Amino acid sequence: MSVRNSVEWPTVGLAVACYGVLFVALWFLPIWVAILVLGPAIALHASLTHEVIHGHPFQSKVANAALVFPALTLTVPYARFRATHLAHHRDELLTDPYDDPETNYLDPEVWRRTRAPLKVVLRFNNTLAGRLLIGPLIGQVTWMLSDLRACGAGDRAVLRGWVAHIPALAVVLVLVWVAPLPFWAYAIGAYLAHSLLRLRTYLEHRAHELARARTVIVEDRGPLALLFLNNNLHVVHHMHPNVAWYDLPSLYAQNKAHYQRRNEGYVFTSYAQVFRKHFLRAKDTVAHPLWRPRD
């Protein structure tokens, strides 16, 4: 693992490349080619935003936030993503239906009261196919409804997060407006990006009695690992959240057996294995299988 420098140039270089690809897609590519390029480019920008939240590539929080300021995903406010993701890093609460902001599990009692048609939708969403097709929509609606309730209850931090999203979104809307690519094509590219990100998050965490065993390792070293900035080695990231993305593979390789013991063998060799195993078969139930309400 390298010593932290004042500027982590691999991350800066990747951000520059990401914006360059975005520019080419907006101005020079045929529409359907542009959509296919925009999906990975916007997903990479989201991965870079995740790096920024964890303190990279600069030592200045302002400079870090400025690097990913444009809201390329359209619907994810930086301040809200930062707040919910850092809350998610309380490992003892991983998969908690109430206190883990990134969980997909429901309280079994809530599941029992859920109407049958919605249960069908949520069960489909628990397959990889469902997570890719409708997962972005379900996740966004669920998140926004939760934040709307928080704003209604007087949570000003949540409201400020959405207000701060307006100029970041405006930058993207103006950029797309002046570009030859129509907005509907950009919107499809953004949805594709959200779908790609749902592939990464699909099985990042499982229900398990041991908090340390809830976080996955996907040993993929292909294009998806780069797109996700090695966050597929997720248990390594959770154990060392301040380590830069390009150091995670070597950190894992140096102590592979330790990480696999720590998460009780929750390991996949590649995303191809994930597709084979879970494309049409849910990885678990919607209701948290181990949930016990706290006193």
Averaged pLDDT for residues 12-35? 97
What is d(CA 44, CA 33) in angstroms, rounded to the nearest whole number?
Answer: 17
Averaged pLDDT for residues 58-78? 96
The predicted-structure confidence for 255-289, as pLDDT tens digits, reads as follows 999 999 999 999 999 999 999 999 999 989 999 99
* Assigned domain for 284 exists: no
pTM: 0.94
* Assigned domain for 292 exists: no
* Assigned domain for 102 exists: yes
* Assigned domain for 77 exists: yes
Task: Quickly tell me which residue has 């809200």 as its tokens.
Answer: 80
Q: For residue 295, what pLDDT is reported?
A: 53
Cβ–Cβ under 8 Å, residues 172 and 74 = yes
The predicted-structure confidence for 146-157, as pLDDT tens digits, reads as follows 999 999 999 999
* Assigned domain for 66 exists: yes
Does residue 3 register a pLDDT over 80? no
* Assigned domain for 271 exists: yes
* Assigned domain for 294 exists: no
3-class DSSP assignment, residue 286: coil
| Amino acid sitting at position 292 | R
Cβ–Cβ under 8 Å, residues 215 and 234 = yes
**Torsion over CA: 217, 107, 82, 242 (sign):** negative
* Assigned domain for 53 exists: yes
| Amino acid sitting at position 75 | T
Cis peptide bond N-terminal to 180, omega within 30 = no
Does residue 2 register a pLDDT over 70? no
What is d(CA 107, CA 286) in angstroms, rounded to the nearest whole number?
Answer: 9
Average pLDDT along the chain: 94
Domain count, the chain: 1
Segments forming the whole domain that contains residue 96: 9-278
The residue among 283 and 68 whose pLDDT is bigger is 68
The predicted-structure confidence for 220-249, as pLDDT tens digits, reads as follows 999 999 999 999 999 999 999 999 999 999
Cis peptide bond N-terminal to 57, omega within 30 = yes
Which H or E run includes 262? helix 256-262
